[in-house]
Structure 1
Amino acid sequence: MSIALHAILRPFGVNPVSCYLGRHARFCFRASWTEAVNWEKKQGNSKRTRKTKAAADVMGLEVLCDDGFGSVTMKDYLEAVRTMPIDDGGPPRWFCPVECGRPVVNSAPLLLFLPGTDGVGMELILHHKSLGMVFEVRCLHIPVNDRTSFGELLQIVDECIKYEHALSPNRPVFVVGDSLGGCLAISVAAHNPEIDLVLIVVNPGTSFAETLVQAILPLLDLMPSNLSVIHPHLLRYFIGEPLKMSMASIQNDLSLQESLQKFLDGFNSMQTLTYGTGDIIRMDNIVWKLKLLKSGAAYANSRLHAVQAEVLLLASGNENLSPTGEADRLLKTLNNCKARYFRNRGHTLLMEHDFNLLTVIKGVNMYRRGRKRDAVTDFLPPTLSEFKKTFGEDFKQFNQLLSPVMLSTLETGKIVRGLAGVPDKGPVLFVGYHQLMAMELSTLLEGLFREKKPVRALAHEVFFKGNFGTLREELSLFDALCMYGAVPVNPTNMYKLFQRNEFVLLYPGGVREALHRKGESYQCFWPNKPEFVRMAARFGVTIVPFGCVGEDDFFEVVVDYNDQKNIPCLRDWITSFNEDLPTLRDTVIGENGNQDVHLPVLLPKVPGRLYFLFGKPIVTKGMDNLLSDSKQANDLYLHTKLEVENLISYLKRKREEDPYRSITPRILYQAIWGASAQVPTFEP
């Protein structure tokens, strides 16, 4: 390493060493940070803190930006492994992946990656670009022939975390641990309960003692040390499965012959790269890493009770080293733990071609820059790859089935198709009617985000707390809503959003509208008090009322809340479920106050069509009189409600003129013009 680079890094407490981990690493750091800490103390700067910016200036990530996810494949990983030095005689060390670049988010937290049993430290290669936008990423590299014990590895990570905490006491440190790295992450968290750590453990090897590999370890120890492992059961724990990697490269739109040829080419390429990894799959190295994993599992299990850090557990269903039962055990044992189960995934979860780690972190609301997460300022807008995954795959059939129509009203009062009548600049407050089960949300969010109007939904606390978390085994609508900016509905969050000139979505009817009773379709259940008008006037917010029609025509409520309250077992379940949920409208009397969350029994109908109409914007800028005059504030509130009801009535009347309201003509139209063609509708 050049003297110039050494001189640049040295004042910041970094001890560069003269080794280079291939083309994927910028530079690397010594395993021990003690010398760096001592050097800082001599300079009188042992507690240097990084500068932070105001909350309004921390966002640097653009909406639907290209995060690069999907541009790197398993082939790139295997090539990166081959270019790593086999053994340069140095100790384990940290390196910064070149692909990560510099974070675009100010005050980005640090992310330390602890590798699995291969020890290379490149398992995050599919995520380097996306994670590098919002984290300072460093990965631990353990040389192939290195024989550092688990205790010594723990000391290396421990010193690094303590050093970083000394530099920035208010900045959290994210620790991502895969398999062996998961045991290491749990252990280091138990050692540092006073440091703000966020653990993300992926298939941790804490159940190693119960696996088949543990039973045959003595036999593996008798094998020739220079023998290369080719058994897929062992190979998959170190460098993945070549067969599955080859299948991942096949595109859905290819013919059968093209798919077969693509698979054969990919499989041959993967096999060549896999067996070219050389020393990583040599028997003596594998036996050592398995012994290391055995030691780490025993140590981590003995320290589970001492972990105070926030933990996210990611478990694969096809994972033998960490079966679902083990994930359940860890979820119950760790104090502050969330879990997501991916039942159709394998051991190398981080290297699955469609698994995006950043998306998972955002979906479970764990990304933060300070000691406590701020739902408003810590939000990361969805990226282009996330948008394509959500609405191009997950909700694609749903939207094609409903063929939604979006209309808006210009300042002249003319109704046009599209969102030309919706303001381009905030602060804007969308106020509307909640459809049955709030199932219109995905379509509404897609339409607004597609037009680069990133709306932040004010949602019920059930999306963030409560017993619904036990049902979220994989990424679900709950996680998707959080990923697209939903925040708990309360005055503080609304104030912050308006202060930042955001687009905000509010349903005054809330749960009462979304879970309405039989015969109550298209009825607004708004509280009597003008809850949002004064705050909107305070910031000069433009209020956009909107109506939505269609979803009540897809389902019929057959067992509603009133029916369930008369059934003892269901009544007890509703009471028990809602005990953990905070109350939102204690001062509102009657049915528009706090409503119990429940699950009505629905009977599906033949799908109709979904219609949205955004009304003429109501500008509150300059209406300072609303802040002190309660009568005028209430009049504007009632006017907004009346506008929503009028928009609903308009859509109910005009949809009768839509020749494509029925699903049959829509299917025929798309069969002729293509599934992506915009189906016509009535003339506004």
Structure 2
Amino acid sequence: MTSSAMTNVDTLIDPPGHIRAMRRAAETAADAAAPLVDLYRPYVDGLQNLPRDGRFLLVGNHSQAGVEGFLIPYMVRREIGHLVRPLTDRGFGKMPFPVADLMAAFGATVGAPESARELMRHNQPILVFPGGGREIAKFKGEQNTLRWEGRAGFARLSVENDYPIVPAALIGGDDVYTSLTRRDGLWGRLSQGLAERLGGKPDMAMPLLRGIGPTLIPRPQRMYLRFAPPIDTTKPAGIDEQDWVATIRDETKKTLERTLDELLAIRAEDPYRELNPLAWHRATQPA
């Protein structure tokens, strides 16, 4: 039996009692984890760019580690006190109890236009990854890049609702594993064919990976997160809406790519980039 906790628009703002109780428990656990997060010392910059009223759309990049799904909402709530609402793949809404309810407790909802519009109507901070699942599995040479494949739904909804966009770039998650194969190589083609047969999505192919040595144990990596200044999506008079949507999409993508490059440069000079305990006190910090 599946749960409607992530799919029912009517319960997005006012969830059932058990979801509210799970949410309070999750927030208590997150608050208790603050000393551990501080000890780990992720590099976090641009918190001053977060609108204090919580009315904004975070647009981020997926990584192989998946840590962005935790770190971005955690830092936003810690800074401005608002629960971030991640938009997830429709498949997560079909997961059995209690998985879907647990994800709903953390604020997640299925990424449908009607859900996003309802959240925007209530001025909720929303998190979206336009690359979706295809951006998680990185083949050789694809690390720290965006794979949006022309997606512009987030820009269209932002323009329709005059919702500011805050690009949120994360570096480090793609370096916990090394990709051994290229997408256009033999394994890449075989993997794409298998993915298409099993799920109809060849862009969800999996590369061959290794972590520490020849194992799949992830390599320790510091995470670098930066929130860029908000992008105003209000359409100027006299401009076609579709053209403006494309402009907002392109500006968001360029800003995110530029911010990723900036973080790569910062990481290259950071002695703590691989979480070497001896370099903890010399870890690069935001200016």
SS in structure 2 opposite 1:386?
A: helix
Q: One-letter code of the match for 1:656? A: A
Is the counterpart of residue 407 in structure 1 residue 36 in structure 2?
no
Q: Give the Å deviation of 1:533.
A: 2.3
Distance 1:516 1:660, change over 3 A: closer
Distance 2:91 2:27 in 1: 24
Give the TM-score taking structure 1 as reference length: 0.36
Contact kept, 8 Å, 1:538 with 1:624, in 2: the verdict is no
| Structure with greater contact order relative to length (CA < 8 Å, sep ≥ 6) | 2
Aligned-residue sequence identity (percent) comes to 24
Distance 1:506 1:656 in 2: 27
Q: Find the partner of 1:386 among 7, 10, 26.
A: 26
The aligned counterpart of 1:553 is: 175
The CA RMSD over aligned residues, in Å, is 3.5
Q: Find the partner of 1:523 among 145, 166, 172.
A: 145
Distance 1:465 1:560 in 2: 32
Is the counterpart of residue 512 in structure 1 residue 124 in structure 2?
no
The CA deviation string for residues 284-328 of structure 1, in whole angstroms up to 9 with x for no partner, is xxxxxxxxxxxxxxxxxxxxxxxxxxxxxxxxxxxxxxxxxxxxx
Give the TM-score taking structure 2 as reference length: 0.78
The aligned counterpart of 1:42 is: none
Is the counterpart of residue 439 in structure 1 residue 67 in structure 2?
yes
Q: One-letter code of the match for 1:461? A: R
Q: Find the partner of 1:604 among 205, 211, 224.
A: 211
Q: Give the Å deviation of 1:567.
A: 6.7
Q: One-letter code of the match for 1:618? A: I
Distance 2:106 2:285 in 1: 31
The aligned counterpart of 1:464 is: 93
Distance 1:564 1:643, change over 3 A: closer
The aligned counterpart of 1:258 is: none
Distance 1:552 1:510 in 2: 15
Contact kept, 8 Å, 2:6 with 2:104, in 1: the verdict is no
Q: Structure 2 unaligned runs (5+)?
A: 213-218
The aligned counterpart of 2:253 is: 641
Q: One-letter code of the match for 2:13? A: T
Contact kept, 8 Å, 1:437 with 1:515, in 2: the verdict is no
The CA deviation string for residues 63-113 of structure 1, in whole angstroms up to 9 with x for no partner, is xxxxxxxxxxxxxxxxxxxxxxxxxxxxxxxxxxxxxxxxxxxxxxxxxxx
Q: Structure 1 unaligned runs (5+)?
A: 1-336, 339-363, 409-418, 580-593, 670-678
Please show how residues 184-583 of structure 1 align to structure 2 within 5 Å: 337=1, 366=5, 374=10, 376-379=12-15, 383-390=23-30, 392=32, 399=37, 403-408=41-46, 419-451=47-79, 452-465=81-94, 469=96, 480-528=102-150, 530-558=152-180, 563=187, 566=190, 571=194, 575-576=197-198, 578=199
Distance 1:533 1:377 in 2: 22
The CA deviation string for residues 535-576 of structure 1, in whole angstroms up to 9 with x for no partner, is 2122211111121101112112346877376279x938x744
Distance 1:654 1:571, change over 3 A: same
Is the counterpart of residue 619 in structure 1 residue 232 in structure 2?
yes
Q: One-letter code of the match for 1:544? A: V
Q: Find the partner of 2:262 among 636, 639, 650.
A: 650
Distance 1:384 1:377, change over 3 A: closer
Contact kept, 8 Å, 2:182 with 2:207, in 1: the verdict is yes
The CA deviation string for residues 26-55 of structure 1, in whole angstroms up to 9 with x for no partner, is xxxxxxxxxxxxxxxxxxxxxxxxxxxxxx
Contact kept, 8 Å, 2:155 with 2:248, in 1: the verdict is yes
Q: Give the Å deviation of 1:458.
A: 0.9
Distance 1:373 1:453, change over 3 A: closer
Contact kept, 8 Å, 2:55 with 2:163, in 1: the verdict is yes
Q: One-letter code of the match for 1:611? A: Y
Aligned length: 274
Q: One-letter code of the match for 1:635? A: T
The CA deviation string for residues 330-373 of structure 1, in whole angstroms up to 9 with x for no partner, is xxxxxxx36xxxxxxxxxxxxxxxxxxxxxxxxx65599xxx67
Distance 1:376 1:595 in 2: 32
